[in-house]
Amino acid sequence: MWTPLTRRIENMTYTNLTNHFLIAMPGLHDPNFEKTVTYICEHTSEHGAMGIIINSPLDIPMSEILEQLDIDHPISNLENSIIYLGGPVSSDRGFVLHESTSRWDSTLVVKDGISITTSRDILQAIARGEGPEKRLMALGYAGWSPGQLEQELAANSWLSGPADNTIIFDQPASQRWQAAASDLGVDLSLLSTETGHA
């Protein structure tokens, strides 16, 4: 059973949302986040939060990214590679969210079995067909300053719940928003688009 995050944050109560989904409420009309699901990679009271939007595919072929980086690639290794808009911050920077126990030059382990990597070596491995089998490649990320995410949660801009790897890596992008909410027992079509705007 899910509990809407309607709590009052009087002293900026902090709940660590690392390895959680942020699911945009129907009333959230920010063009960067409308109908998005964001996977929170890191969340601390001191530094705020950082995440990757997992359901905004871009019309950019992976081969184009690799060519810009001068990484050789057989096309066959990239047939199912989709690039996502990970968020509005640093949209020229690449991030690979992946299931893997392998360590790369610049990897943040979010939890056992899921990590985010920003170094070139993982792209070289993907190009050779040796990278993580389950992965999501994104340009840019979503970021919140300390206390900002807590304020947005209190204003009912987001639903939040534990992340599910199958939604990230196995569900079609067009279904992830509804699927993430369904995981919490929520039917987004039944929620008012005016939530949080009384």
Show me where the domains of the chain are located: 20-53+143-190, 57-140
User: Looking at 52-61, 75-84, 114-123, 151-160, which range is the least confident one?
Assistant: 75-84
β-strand partners of 116: 97, 108
pLDDT band at residue 96 under the 50/70/90 scheme: very high
Per-residue pLDDT at 86: 97
The yes-or-no verdict on residue 10 having pLDDT over 70 is: no
More confident residue, 69 or 84: 84
In CATH, the number for domain 20-53+143-190 is 3.40.1740.10
Fold of 57-140: Alpha-Beta Plaits (3.30.70)
